[in-house]
Amino acid sequence: MSGKPVTVDFKNGLAFVTIDNPPVNATSQAVRAGLAEAVQQVAASDSKAAILRCAGKTFVAGGDISEFDKPAAEPHLPDICNAIEASPVPWIAAMHGTVLGGGFEIALSCAFRLALPDTRFGMPEVNIGIIPGAGGTQRLPRLAGVETAADIICSGGMFPAEKMLEAGIVDVLVDDLDGTVAAFADMLPLIPEPVSQRPVENPGSEWFAAKRAELEKKAKGQLSPVQALEAIEWAATLPFSDGQQRERERFLELRTSEQSKALRHAFFAERQAANRN
């Protein structure tokens, strides 16, 4: 690991932004601060594009859960995602390993998303009693549609890169992250409209009611899957800025709930048991 969890290298007209925060490149406060600085450095450069990549075995595999029992510390991840999306220099997410939670939300804020074929994706927040808190429930419906977004977010499951490609979430699957992504950046196609500005096709109140009933039956008293669906409905009915604000408020509310604390305790207990075996 280098001295900093986030570094920026400029080479051949491109900016290479590297997150190096073992073991899973979680979006700790130090990583968020490093990304905020990187956004400014990239914007001030004459780079054609910025390639966001991660050291080690995985892309960003979620947030730093150890921070969840403390007050949210600046810079906040929604602000980082918004800054990446608004950058005058387009960002390209070069993904491998697992792309989870906050890592998925960062990728959604990039102009393009490229991944190795064996990469896996997910928003597992509902498994620990919360919902995505950095625009995931607002951007994913705008990129892949409400039904796909609900399948991914409300299930908390993991999905293969091929499925993400079919859904239009990943733009290209590549065999070589370094060389192929750099070549893609060097011959950059037309920059697409930012995901947050895209329209959402609303499947209607009856669809949301049926999906809610389905989730309530499966959840057996767990609140987060249904809360996630409600946030997705905000994406279908509200401007992005309003939906993102409501999502963040709900995320912060849920992470201090007794249900989320209990699920996080179980998560850490399971991980410790696995580490002992």
Rounded CA separation 147/155 (Å): 12
Pick the CATH number of 1-277 from 3.40.50.300, 3.90.226.10, 2.60.120.590, 3.40.50.2300: 3.90.226.10
All structural domains of the chain with their residue ranges? 1-277
Tell me if the pTM is above 0.75: yes
pLDDT digits (tens, 9 = 90+) for 218-235: 987 789 999 999 999 999
pLDDT digits (tens, 9 = 90+) for 67-102: 777 788 899 999 999 999 999 999 999 999 999 999
Output the 3-class SS for 1-40: CCCCCEEEEEECCEEEEEECCCCCCCECHHHHHHHHHHHH
pLDDT reported for residue 258: 81
Contact 272, 260 (CB under 8 A): no
Contact 162, 115 (CB under 8 A): no
Average pLDDT over residues 203-212: 97
pLDDT digits (tens, 9 = 90+) for 120-132: 999 999 999 999 9
Output the CA torsion sign for 109, 39, 89, 115: negative
- Show which residues are catalytic: 105, 125
